[in-house]
């Protein structure tokens, strides 16, 4: 598990597992469970798994195969 206040997964980045961050930006590939306060999924991103978020911004072109769960 990766936990951080702020995290950016770059275009060349790949992560399998659980990630938790208050501010999370994804440009690369993530497979697993994501927990984020503010989540930014960029157009180059590929995300698969479960996404739990408070606020989300998804750019056109992103590939998402996931269950989205809004938290309070």
Profile the chain (72 residues) by mean pLDDT over runs of 10 residues: 95 96 98 98 98 98 97 86
> What b/e string do you get for 39-49 counting C-beta neighbours within 10 Å, with b at 16 or more?
bbbbebbbbeb
Q: What is the pLDDT of residue 72?
A: 78
Q: What is the pLDDT of residue 24?
A: 98
Distance CA 19, CA 16 (A): 9
Asked if 39 and 22 count as a contact pair (C-beta separation under 8 A), the reply is no
Cα angle 7-47-42, degrees, rounded to a multiple of 5: 60
């Amino acid at each position: 598990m990766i936990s951080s206040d702020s995290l950016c997964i770059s275009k060349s980045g790949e992560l399998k597992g659980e990630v938790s961050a208050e501010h999370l930006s994804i440009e690369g590939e993530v497979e697993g469970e994501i927990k984020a306060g503010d989540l930014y999924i960029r157009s180059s991103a590929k995300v698969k798994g479960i996404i739990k978020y408070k606020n989300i911004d998804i750019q056109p072109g992103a590939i998402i195969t996931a269950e989205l769960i809004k938290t309070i």
